[in-house]
Amino acid sequence: MSVATTVDVALEAAPEAPRLDLLRRIFFGRTSTITATIIIVAFIAVAIFAPQLAPYDPLAQSYLAINALPTSEHWLGTDQLGRDVFSRLIHGSRNSLIFGLIAPTLAAFFGTLLGVVAGYFGGIVDRLVTRVIDLLLAFPELLLAIMIAAALGGGFWSVVTVLTIAFVPGFARVARASTLAVKQEPYVEAAVAAGVTTPKIILRHVLPNIAAPIVVLMTLWVASAIRLEASLSFLGIGTQPPNPSWGNIIRDGLGNIFGSPWAIIGAGLAISVVVLAFNLIGDATRDVLDPDTAQ
């Protein structure tokens, strides 16, 4: 029997990870993660059914109800243009969650691609990719995002691009380090010796064995993406008015913070709760997938 056949048989004979059990341990293993899961599902449902749940059009203005206090008609009052704050919070959840989910996913894809290529092939490719990663890592994420956003301007895809570029270096660094470790494993060396093609080695042997830290990093950075998008929108270079976002809702509320602070309180609470929930899920994912902490 050839070495390649032996490797394939060994892989087929190896028991697959109980994926459903892993998901159960991540989302329902602790009381805190159960609560976090309920919160995340609730916010996702709110974002999906925002048009049906919002009592008013988030863009509708009323000069007769400017900076109104909370009432039975306007649960969180109105802003400086008479728009219903509660409706804007509901619709703002769409932008915040979309950016929070899309950007880390794209960053994980491109960052992992760069890291695996650099770690597996080494040489000048590794040096070039490493220098680019080091250059981007020299800037804090928020500062890097501000510089890129200032150059690209506002808009949906501009914000997605900004957040993706801000997170790519971290994924690339983790993927490169994990690939360097996996490349030295006997099963990879056996596959190389057996003449298995490089793309097949990467897809069948490298990527599955570096997936755990990438998944952990992606779950943790969903919260960071939501926070970063809110920061950019607060500064005026993220989601552009009149489209609602939790960040620009806080910015709009600063003009009347003492007279009607409900916009700031509502948006700030939404950001805090969602970020905390995703952080709890990220910590649980790390504990379950990390062989040093998994039970």
Rounded-to-integer distance, Cα 274 and Cα 36, Å: 8
Give per-residue pLDDT as tens, 67-123.
Answer: 888 888 889 888 888 899 999 999 999 888 888 889 999 999 999 999 999 999 988
**Separation between Cα atoms, residue 173 and residue 168, nearest integer Å:** 9
Residue 135: pLDDT over 50: yes
pLDDT tens digits, 40-60: 999 999 999 999 999 999 988
pLDDT in tens, 221-269: 898 899 988 988 888 888 888 889 999 899 988 877 887 788 899 999 9
What is the per-residue pLDDT for 14?
37
Measured from the Cβ of residue 91, the count of other Cβ atoms closer than 10 Å reads 21
Instruction: Record the tokens describing residue 95, joined without a space.
Output: 């932008």
- State the CB neighbour count (10 A cutoff) for residue 139: 15
Cα atoms in the 13 Å half-sphere on the side-chain side of 281: 24
Q: What percent of the chain has pLDDT over 70?
A: 91
Helices of type H across 122-185: 123-137, 141-152, 156-182
pLDDT grade, residue 295 (50/70/90)? very low
Evaluate the omega torsion of the peptide bond into residue 242 and state whether it is cis, within 30 degrees of 0.
yes
pLDDT score of 89: 94
pLDDT greater at residue 225 or residue 291: 225
User: Which of 10-24, 124-138, 183-197 is the least confident region?
Assistant: 10-24
- At 269 the pLDDT is 94
pLDDT given for residue 291 in this prediction: 54
Give the pLDDT confidence score for residue 284 in this predicted structure: 87
Residue % of the chain over a pLDDT of 90 = 34
pLDDT of residue 2: 41
Q: Which domains does the chain have, with CATH numbers?
A: 21-289 (1.10.3720.10)
Mean pLDDT (whole number) for 126-145: 87
Report the C-alpha dihedral over residues 289, 204, 21, 18, rounded to 10 degrees.
-130
- Side chain identity at residue 34, one-letter code: I
What pLDDT score was predicted for residue 11?
Answer: 37
70 DSSP assignment: P
Q: Report the pLDDT value the prediction gives residue 5, as an integer from 0 to 100.
A: 41
Residue 261 to residue 79: CA distance in whole angstroms? 9
- pLDDT beyond 90 at 184: no
Give the whole-angstrom CA distance, residue 182 versus residue 202: 10
155 falls in which pLDDT band (50, 70, 90)?
A: confident
Phi, psi of 84 (to 5 degrees): -70, 120
Residue 32 three-state SS: helix
Taking all residues of the chain, what is their mean pLDDT, rounded to a whole number?
85
